[in-house]
Structure 1
Amino acid sequence: MPLSRHIETIFYISILLLTIIPSIYHIYAVNSISRVVVVELHMAIDEGAVAFIKRSIDLCRDCFLVLSISSNGGYLTSTQRIVSMVIESNVRCVSWIPPGSQAYSAAAIVAFSCNGLYMGSGSVIGAVKPYPSDEKSIEAVKSLLTSLMIRIYGDIDWVRELARDMVEDAKALDYSSAISMGLAKKAENLDDIISDLLSDQGIDVVVLYPNLWEKIISVLSNPVIYSAMLVAGTLLIVVEIFTTGFQGYGVAGAILILLALYSMSLIPPDIVSIALLLSGVALLAVEIFTPGFGVFGISGIVLTAIGMVLTIMSTPLETMTPTIYVVVIGLSSIAGFMAFIGFKGAEAMRIKRKSIQEVLIGSIGIAKTDIGEINPGVVYVANEDWTAYSVKGVVKQGSRVRVVRVEGLKLYVEEYHEV
């Protein structure tokens, strides 16, 4: 066989392998999934939802993600962040609107960020018209929704028309209409989705719900709430500036402002975690050097704990190697030991020390010279020489004396006769 024929045969075999191998890999990857993570996104599309979706994606790098959506919508900025996270993560996911649920406005956009859509009986999707409905916002949302739908269904006329109607006319589709159009597949429960996409043998289903912190962020991301936090934080800082001594108002004000900025998506969660940790350490230091009732110490411990929890929650699980755990445990032990030393030091510093007057008054000493009421002399009291005056008569040199009162560095003494 001529050499050219060998080269041609190798070329065609290479093309065939390059065509078949990705398909085989895709089939193997889908069928080898042993875990399905169901994300119960039954909340407003806000920064709490962003944190929830991020945590879910971090837990689902090698599994199948099902977004179970029941929401009336939310904020465009948060929606864009969720869409970006889902697409950039390359996680295998589908959206599911359970029976009787709805995905309106921003929630509908999130639903189309996955690779497929399932709907249960009585469910609804659509009504993506933004508020306020100015021309710029409408065009931005329409472009985003159109691109997501084309990504799933292809660049077809009815896809573009439906995206336009959902945004401009707030059109919504019920369960039957969406399925008849080919927009969604029927799924009354999770088993329908698993049986449609995966082999349901040996599938481990994990259901995720928003945690406490994500629920708090969801509340704080409301514009009324974070605006009030900004005002309150600023006022607390002003009060701290015009109040004598450290009262802790400034720390509380700074934390409120940081949380407000985080809720507005202006700073990342890492900055909030670091700020909480530093605030907690600062309050612990204040507790050590300032006598009080432990308010600063308790607040410092709480803020430090919250900062640590946020740091752990924002760290992907795959980066937490055994070495990292060993280092964390070691540093925590050192920090705990130093905190114990600081606590004991604070206790020692808070022991009430006697004033010089309390030490000297009543003390017994020796007159080193004659001491008069007008002409002072020298006495030896408390291991030191002092200038002294007699309170009655003249005290002869060598006599024992007792301190009656102290004025500055002058002592007033009387002759002491031991009974």
Structure 2
Amino acid sequence: MGRILCVLLLLAGAAGVLGAPARSASEATALLVEIDGAIGPATVKLLGDALEAAEQRDASLVILRMDTPGGLSESMRAVIRDILASPIPVATYVAPSGARAASAGTYILYASHLAVMAPGTNLGAATPVQIGGGLPLPGGEPSEEEDETDAADREGKNGEGKGKGEEEQEAEPAPPPADAMGRKMINDAVAYIRGLAELHGRNADWAERAVREGASLPAREAAERQVVDFVAASVEGLLQQADGRTVMLGERRLTLATAGLTVERFEPSWHVELLQVLTNPNTALILMMIGVYGLIFEFANPGSIGPGIVGAICLLLGLYALDQLPLDYTGLGLMLLGIALMVAEAMTPAFGVLGAGGIIAFLIGSVLLLDSDSPEFQLSWWTIGGVTAVTGSLLILLLGYVWRAHRRPAVTGTAEMVGHNALVLSWSGLAGEVLARGERWQARCSEPLKPGETVSIDGMAGLTLQVSRTVPRDVPPT
């Protein structure tokens, strides 16, 4: 009986294995990932999640449909590292028509296993401007230290470019940076993009022109010059043209079988969407200021709890967002100094001196805070002006409150008692007891008084009131 049971179990297992249909080519998938906007920390997270999902789904190809004006250097390099380390081929597709792969997008296109563009798109303008270091724009006269060989090479390439197609969109050749750091930055970018081009057999000379001169190309001419692999009007066209092509996947060659792949769209996680919102510099600054206002209110009104909690959460989120962005620490220091001065003004009013200094330091720090060539990762002047105006308005309200409090009559102590009336309770000679402000007080007067009389308080000597008979008897005490 035991043997029969074992045989039945083995047969059932074999039937399950044989009955499970093998994954056919028609059921294989290509994962489509949308990259729309500047390359930043959210893009790095999105691509990492997509590549991980592609491995789990056993996808045959990852397609990055991209439209970007550029982005952060560190994020760009992280994306390229992920693409080069991917065990699944990655095709970067500049689409739809009218899209571009400018600046950082050009580097990503060169790093991809397949580089494809839709008709009516362009790439290029890859000159690094302030990539992670606040460097000046390339320009100025060449220094005497400029390498003569590099200058001759550029002249030869410029002469060659003048005879090529009329469709090419390229800027005037930019003079080399006059400072040593600028030249190092340009040369590093050239070496980087040439290495990517050689890795996939693409046009390295034009890649260098895109960096040194800010040159750009439309889709058709990019394919003719072997800057990209081909032009495709749709994702389905991309899959058809990519079928049978050989790409380098690490150290091995891989022949693509992409015809008929089922395209699955990859949806970004909530973490990616939250990161995309938080890493907007304007959102980061607003969150940080809400946090500061909340903490100031909490310190000024201990026990409120709510403003302190909201303020702490917003401040931490703002600082986290700023940590993901290329910061200029001088700007950050000025902003923190400005915030500290405004907090000091709220806690120990100095009639606007600390507050005005804080606003000025905060404004200058906001302008210097971020160091990026991408407009998407720069603070808007509207945001800077708005935050500064709100902060200034709050400071003016605070100063108005302090000024009114300074001019308001005293409500405690000697100054508060003087001028009020009191009722004589008992009297003997020149001293006795009076009822003032609902309390019994010892009192003295320069003339005898009678119980029931109303007197005026002229002053205090210790805990004894100085009174005088200046109020008629028929006027009730206050």
- State TM-score, norm by structure 2: 0.45
- Give the secondary-structure state (helix, strand or coil) at the position aligned to 2:223: helix
Gaps of 5+ in 2: 1-21, 55-61, 129-136, 139-175, 178-182, 243-257, 287-321, 323-327, 373-386, 402-408
State the alpha-carbon separation in 1 of the partners of residues 197 and 108 from structure 2. 11
Distance in 1 (alpha carbons) for counterparts of 2:284 and 2:426: 78
Distance 1:86 1:411, change over 3 A: farther
Closer/same/farther in 2, CA of residues 58 and 126 from structure 1, 3 Å limit: closer
Number of residue pairs matched by the alignment: 290
Residue 264 (str. 1) matches residue 318 (str. 2): no
Q: Gaps (5+ residues) in structure 1?
A: 1-23, 44-48, 266-278, 294-351
Deviation at 1:404, TM superposition (A): 1.2
Counterpart of 1:83 (choices 58, 77, 81) is 77
Matching residue of 2:120: 122
Specify the code of the residue in structure 2 equivalent to 1:203: E
Q: In the TM superposition, what is the alpha-carbon distance from 1:192 to its structure 2 partner?
A: 3.9
What is the CA deviation profile of residues 349-373 of structure 1, one whole-angstrom value per residue up to 9, with x for unaligned ones? xxx99445656723324134322xx
1:141 aligns with one of 189, 196, 203: 189
Q: Distance in 2 between matches of 1:365 and 1:193?
A: 103
2:264 aligned partner: 203
Residue 38 of structure 1: how far off its partner (Å): 0.5
Aligned-pair distance for 1:145?
0.3
**Which amino acid in 1 is paired with 2:92?**
S
| Alignment partner, residue 301 of structure 1 | none
1:263 CA drift (Å): 1.1
Partner deviation per Cα, 1:319-364 (whole Å, 9 max, x = no partner): xxxxxxxxxxxxxxxxxxxxxxxxxxxxxxxxx9944565672332
Q: Deviations over 1:258-296 (max 9, x none)?
A: 64554127xxxxxxxxxxxxx9xxx9xx99xx7978xxx
Partner Cα separation in structure 2 for residue 219 and residue 395 of structure 1: 70
Counterpart for residue 53 of structure 2 = 62
Q: Which residue in the other structure is 1:112 paired with?
A: 110
Per-residue deviation at 1:200?
Answer: 5.4
1:313 aligns with none
Structure-to-structure mapping, 1:152-301, within 5 angstroms: 153=200, 159-168=203-212, 172-180=216-224, 181=226, 183-193=228-238, 201=262, 203-204=264-265, 206=267, 214=280, 216=282, 244-245=350-351, 248-249=355-356, 252=359, 255-256=362-363, 259-260=366-367, 262-264=369-371
Structure 1 contact 38–66 (Cα < 8 Å) conserved: yes
Q: Could you state the TM-score of these two structures normalised by the residue count of structure 1?
A: 0.50
> Is 2:445 the partner of 1:400?
no
- Which residue identity does 2:439 align to in structure 1? N
Do the aligned partners of 1:369 and 1:379 also contact (CA within 8 Å) in 2? no
**Residue in 1 aligned with 2:378?**
none
Structure 1 residue 54: deviation in Å? 4.1
Change (3 A) 1:211 1:417: closer
CA distance 1:254–1:417, shift in 2 (3 Å)? same
Q: Distance between the aligned counterparts of 2:63 and 2:455, measured in 1? A: 85
CA contact (8 A) 1:117 1:184 kept: yes
Answer yes or no: is the 8 Å Cα contact 1:235–1:253 preserved in 2. no
Q: Which has the higher contact order (CA 8 A, sep 6+)?
A: 2
Q: Secondary structure at the match of 1:121?
A: coil
Distance 1:159 1:219, change over 3 A: farther
- Do structure 1's residue 387 and structure 2's residue 437 form an aligned pair? no
Distance 2:445 2:121 in 1: 99
CA deviations on 1:173-219 (whole Å, 9 max, x unpaired) are 44234334373232223444567659654723558997596374899
Counterpart in the other structure of 1:95: 92
Residues 7-63 of structure 1 show CA distances to partners (whole Å, capped at 9, x for unaligned) of: xxxxxxxxxxxxxxxxx99x99x9466x6330113x5xxxxx424524634664525
2: CA distance, partners of 1:234 / 1:102:
38
1:412 correspondence with 2:467: yes
Deviations 1:279-321 (A, max 9, x none): 9xxx9xx99xx7978xxxxxxxxxxxxxxxxxxxxxxxxxxxx
Identity over aligned pairs, percent: 14
Alignment CA distance shift 1:412-1:168 (3 Å): closer
Which residue type is aligned with residue 53 of structure 2? D
Distance 1:249 1:369, change over 3 A: same
Contact 2:454 2:473 in 1 (8 A): no
Question: SS in structure 2 opposite 1:118?
Answer: strand
Cα separation, 2, equivalents of 1:218 and 1:103 = 26
User: Is contact 1:121-1:188 (8 Å) kept?
Assistant: yes
Pairwise CA RMSD of aligned residues? 5.4
- Say if 1:116 and 1:362 are closer, same or farther in 2 by CA, change over 3 A: farther
Q: CA deviation at 1:146?
A: 1.6
Distance in structure 2 (CA, Å) of the matches to 1:412 and 1:232 = 58
Q: What is the match of residue 316 of structure 1? A: none
Give the distance between the partners of 1:58 and 1:368, measured in 2 at CA.
Answer: 91
Which amino acid in structure 1 is aligned with residue 188 of structure 2?
A: A
Cα deviations across residues 41-92 of structure 1 (Å, max 9, x unaligned)?
3x5xxxxx42452463466452556251353x57xxx234322244248677
Q: CA deviation at 1:389?
A: 1.8
Distance 1:219 1:146 in 2: 38
Cα distance in structure 1, aligned partners of 2:234 and 2:99: 12
Quick check: 1:232–1:253 contact (8 Å CA) kept in 2? no
CA spacing shift, 1:413–1:292, aligned 2, 3 Å: same
- Cα distance change of structure 1 residues 291 and 227 upon mapping to structure 2, 3 Å threshold: closer
Q: Distance in 2 between matches of 1:353 and 1:58?
A: 66
Secondary structure of 2:428 counterpart: coil
Distance 1:235 1:215 in 2: 19
Specify the SS of the correspondent of 1:96: strand
Match of 1:50 in 2: 40
Please give the alpha-carbon distance, in whole angstroms, between the structure 1 residues aligned to 2:363 and 2:259: 47
Return the offset for 1:244: 2.4
